[in-house]
Every structure is written in C-alpha cells, then in structure tokens.
Amino acid sequence: MPAIRHALSTKREDDFAQWYQEVISEAEMAEESGVRGCMVIKPWGYGIWERIQRLMDDRIKAAGVTNCYFPLFIPLSYFAKEAEHVEGFAKEMAVVTHHRLVGDGKGGLVPDPEAKLEEPLIVRPTSETVIGAAMARWVQSWRDLPLMVNQWANVVRWEMRTRMFLRTSEFLWQEGHTAHADRDDAMTETLRALEMYRDFSETELAMPVIAGEKPENERFPGAVATYSIEAMMQDGKALQAGTSHYLGTGFAEAAGIQYQDKEGTQQYAHTTSWGTSTRMVGGVIMTHGDDDGLRVPPMIAPHQIVILPMLRDNDEDEALLAYCEELRKALVTQFALNEPLRVLLDKRPGKATQKRWAWVKKGVPLILEIGGRDAAGGQVSMLRRDKLWNDAAKANFVAMSKEDFVARAAAEIEDIQTSLHAEAKAKLQANISQAASFEELASFFSEDKRYPGWVEVEWSRPTGEALEAVVQKLKAHKLTIRNTPLDAAPVAGNCVFTGDPAVERIYVARSY
C-alpha cells in the first residue's frame, strides 16, 4: 500500500502535545489572544461549543432545572468566609481593585488612585458563594425545595501553565446548583447530573467515559462526595470531563440556606453542584482527532455536510451552483439524529482541493465535491471523514447519483456518529489493564510504552494520612487515582497499596 500523505505535519504517535496544538490551529478552532492565558475561540471551535451548549441545555431543562444569571464579581468578604472553612481554598484569582483609569500625564493610562474600591472584587472562579447567598433569600419553606438552578457563564482561575480548551485562565462553563430537603434527594440529584454527563459524553460527544466517585483527596473543597466522568485521550491519559458534588449541609450552613419543614422546624438544606466546560472540546479533539485533523461527531458538528462546488470562474459555474443549491435544499429536509441535517454550500472563492483539505482538517463529517460533469450527469462524490483514505492512499471518494445520496445521507451521518463512538470505545477498552500489586502497577507505567492507558486495581479505600501516603507513592510515578467506577465488578483480593482486604476498584492513570 502506498504511503498516505496526511494533512497534518505532526502525527499523534510522534508528539501528542504538538499534534493537539496543530489540530487546534489547522482546524481554526482557537488561537492565543495576546491576553495571558486567555484564548480566542474561533468560529469552528465556538460552533462546536454552541452545539454542546444547546444539547446540554436541553438536557438540563428537561430535568426541571432553570437557568439564571449571577454576577461576574464576588466581594472579597464572601471568599474570606469560605477560606475560614475550607483548607484547600484556591487563592489564584483575578482581583479587581479599581473602577477607573486616569491619564498618567505621559500620554498613558493608569488605575486612578482616587477610584480604589473599598472592598476588592473577585472575578468568579465558581459561583457557590454568590448563589448560596441568593438561595438563602429564596428558600423559606419545604415548598421551595428542591430549588434547582443552572448558569452558563465565563469563569476565571489564574493558571500558570495553560493549554487551549484544557486549562485556560478564562473558560466557559455551566454550573448547576441545587438545594434539597434531605440527603437522599440531594444525592439523587448529584447522581442524576453525573449520569446526564455520562450519557451526554457517550451519546452527543461519542466519547466513552467512566463515571465514578473521586477519592477523598480530590474532592471539591468542602464537598462530602465528588463524582466525575473520566475520558481516555489517545495518548492514554485521563481527562476529567465533568464533575458532580454532593455538598451536604456545609455550604447551606455557611450561606444560611434554611427552610421550615412540614412540622415547622428550621432545617438546613442539602446542596449539590455540577459542572462541565469548554474543556469538553479538548476532550473531543483528543478522542476523535487523527493525523488529518479533527473529526467532529455529527451531533455536535456545526455543519454535518459541506458541499464543495468545483468552481472554475467560467460560464458553467452558474449551472453548477444551481445544482448544488438544489442538492442542499433536498438535504435539509432530511432528519438525522432527531434534527434536520445541517448542510453548508461553500461558495467561497478558492481552489476546491484546498477547500477540501481545510474541511478535512476541521473534521466536517461528510464532504461532497461536485464538478461540472457531476452536475451534468446528476452525480455527487462523497467523502466520509471517518473513512478518508482508500487502498491507493488517495482521498476515498465514492460516486453515486444525487438521488441515492439524498436517500442515504441521514443514514451515513448516523453511521458516522456510531462509528466514532465504537472506535473510541474499543480504544478505551483495549487500554485498560489490571494490576494485582503495586509493583505490577509501577512496572506497567515504567515500561517503554508511549501511551500506556489506565490500570484498574483493587484497594481498601484508605483515608487521611494513609490515603496521603498512597497519593504520594503514585505521584512519584506521575500517576493519580481517577475514580471508583459506579458499575465495577465485585472485588476479589487485597488492596495493592495497603495489603488490607480490598473494598472497591479504582482507575489509576496519568492525566491532564
């Protein structure tokens, strides 16, 4: 078989980190903004986020959660209160200290010393405190519960080492916050949100994940239990793609979220919070991308089909465009994955081949290239992004009549969604190993594997200092505990760390 000339200059197996940056750049998803740690999300990257947002929002609303909007700024004193209670309180935050600029007398501008704020404001890193204060106002009686709100917003965490979509100082997310009458109801909601994220990842993102509970040392500060979904990237590292927290009554006590129960007694509410972010876009890239760029699962693709007329700047262009427009109109009446097909007729100037490869790198699921002869003969040439190369190492175009294509377009799109998921699922399963001892675990990761994947082990769920010892032991191998899967098989042996009888299984991996 002749060698394929891939569209990217870096291959995944050669340098995964550089490959990732190249996909983002070549697919025109995002770029550095000139503002430290902040990115510009370009139309293709933002279009994918908009699809994620809309589909996730539909699920959130269907669960009876309503959207609200809370302030970007949080007074410093709110955090001071939290810091008292929470040991792991992160302090890397953007602090607003002035509300006016003034000329510096040398043609420049400086913060006006006369306009110093009495109390500094923090740009929200998360909204627990300000939403807790609102919930304290809104909740009076058991009739007000459950109270379930969600916010789509930008948040800021001052990050020293940033990577686009995965860790940026500013990012976009949704944060759900709910208050409940008792532990059971709150825990049910915590797990509902987790299951929503799991199913969303598998279905909409075609990204297989493991849903489970994080170990004590990785809990959200102040949480009673933290759950996550963990996806495996193609370099074998884990990506935490969403979290859901049961907060007990601790946050309600700090914020004063109290209700009168049916017996007339004042009770503290049990609260939860759960979130996903633009990080999921990074997960999609590292799950589905290949050496030709991104491959976008059809459910979240801004365009599912791009029609590329091979324009020649001559008299025949008009008939060709009319043919393509007719095709586009026929396609958008078709439904795939419960929505009308999203089809772009790309009429921009430029060479068809260049435009083809630009769309390949962007990962649009289906490309139709149509020349004058195709139009005259009622034909189309279809290129599936997930079946890009033929045996001759050429772009794997399949010719067929326009009618045939219209009839099978929806099925092709649905098949791409399914195929991407199946491919990723197979990779995940193939890259999970077992280890029966710490030595086995350590040697697995120290072997000369570039991308070793995850290891499943049994453990005794130590806490406190015993857990800390485990964490440090793993850290020496650059490893972390990802989570305790909810649907694991029963344990059979002893803890690989402590030797005590095991109580559950955990995944150990390198991670983002």
Residues 169, 175, 179, CA angle at the centre, nearest 5°? 145
Q: Work out whether 2 is an interface residue with its own copies (CB under 8 A).
A: no
The helix/strand/coil state of 237 is coil
**Nearest approach, Cβ of residue 158 and its own copies (Å):** 4
Q: How many Å apart are CA 371 and CA 373, to the nearest integer?
A: 5
Q: Helices 402-430 and 317-331 sit at what angle, rounded to 10 degrees?
A: 60
Query: Which of 17, 68, 426, 436 is close enough to bind its own copies by CB under 8 A?
Result: 68
As to burial, measured by CB atoms within 10 angstroms (0-12 exposed, 13-18 middle, 19+ buried), residue 127 is: buried
Asked if residues 400 and 380 have their Cβ atoms less than 8 Å apart, the reply is: yes
Taking CB under 8 A as the binding criterion, the range among 106-114, 287-295, 384-392, 401-409 that sits at the site for its own copies is 106-114
Query: Which of 9, 69, 312, 418 is close enough to bind its own copies by CB under 8 A?
Result: 69
Taking CB under 8 A as the binding criterion, the range among 41-49, 335-343, 400-408, 416-424 that sits at the site for its own copies is 41-49
Query: Which of 15, 17, 71, 398 is close enough to bind its own copies by CB under 8 A?
Result: 71
CB count, 10 Å around CB of 169?
A: 19
Asked if residues 294 and 23 have their Cβ atoms less than 8 Å apart, the reply is: yes
Residues in the interface with its own copies (CB under 8 A) total 67
**Nearest approach, Cβ of residue 410 and its own copies (Å):** 22
CA dihedral 424, 429, 432, 433 (to 10 degrees): -150
Q: Work out whether 332 is an interface residue with its own copies (CB under 8 A).
A: no
The helix/strand/coil state of 275 is strand
Q: How many Å apart are CA 369 and CA 434, to the nearest integer?
A: 47
Q: Work out whether 341 is an interface residue with its own copies (CB under 8 A).
A: no
Q: Work out whether 95 is an interface residue with its own copies (CB under 8 A).
A: yes
Nearer to its own copies (CB atom), residue 155 or residue 327: 155
Query: Which of 11, 59, 111, 352 is close enough to bind its own copies by CB under 8 A?
Result: 111
Asked if residues 180 and 273 have their Cβ atoms less than 8 Å apart, the reply is: no
Query: Which of 4, 7, 38, 471 is close enough to bind its own copies by CB under 8 A?
Result: 38
Q: Which long-range contacts (CB under 8 A, 24 or more apart) does 52-59 make?
A: 52/204, 52/205, 52/280, 52/281, 52/300, 53/152, 53/174, 55/200, 55/204, 55/299, 55/300, 56/174, 56/200, 56/204, 56/276, 57/152, 57/174, 59/196, 59/200
Q: Work out whether 378 is an interface residue with its own copies (CB under 8 A).
A: no
Query: Which of 17, 101, 393, 398 is close enough to bind its own copies by CB under 8 A?
Result: 101
Q: Work out whether 347 is an interface residue with its own copies (CB under 8 A).
A: no
Q: How many Å apart are CA 253 and CA 132, to the nearest integer?
A: 10
**Nearest approach, Cβ of residue 327 and its own copies (Å):** 20
Q: Work out whether 24 is an interface residue with its own copies (CB under 8 A).
A: no
**Nearest approach, Cβ of residue 478 and its own copies (Å):** 26
Taking CB under 8 A as the binding criterion, the range among 196-204, 209-217, 346-354, 462-470 that sits at the site for its own copies is 346-354
Interface with its own copies in residues 128-147 (CB under 8 A) = 130, 133-134, 137, 143
The helix/strand/coil state of 343 is strand
Query: Which of 3, 62, 84, 315 is close enough to bind its own copies by CB under 8 A?
Result: 84
Q: Work out whether 93 is an interface residue with its own copies (CB under 8 A).
A: yes
Site for its own copies, rule CB under 8 A: 31, 33-35, 38-43, 46-47, 49-50, 66-76, 79-80, 83-84, 91-103, 107-112, 120-123, 130, 133-134, 137, 143, 149, 153-154, 156, 158, 170, 172, 348-350
